[in-house]
Amino acid sequence: MKNIREACMTMILSLSTVGPAFAVDTTKTYSSGILVAVFLAFCALIVVVQLLPTIMLLYGFIKGLFKSGEKRQTHRG
């Protein structure tokens, strides 16, 4: 048990002393203008508009399943 505790403490201490990575500053890399934001919003709008008929079709399919299930029960009774 003491060996496990020492190993955990060693890992915690070694991980806490790790410095930050020398990565690229993303504020300079991805500083895009308003036109890029408008383009991305337009792309998101296209995706949402394509999802609407799919959701309506799925709703109609589920509604039809429950409606046909009720008809079967009335014919048996």
> Which tens digit of pLDDT belongs to each residue from 33-62?
888 889 999 999 999 999 999 999 999 999
In this structure, which amino acid lies at residue 65?
Answer: L
| C-alpha separations of 20 from 17, 23, 34, 59 in Å | 10, 8, 31, 50
Statement: residue 16 has pLDDT above 60: yes
Statement: residue 29 has pLDDT above 70: no
- Give pTM, 2 decimals: 0.42
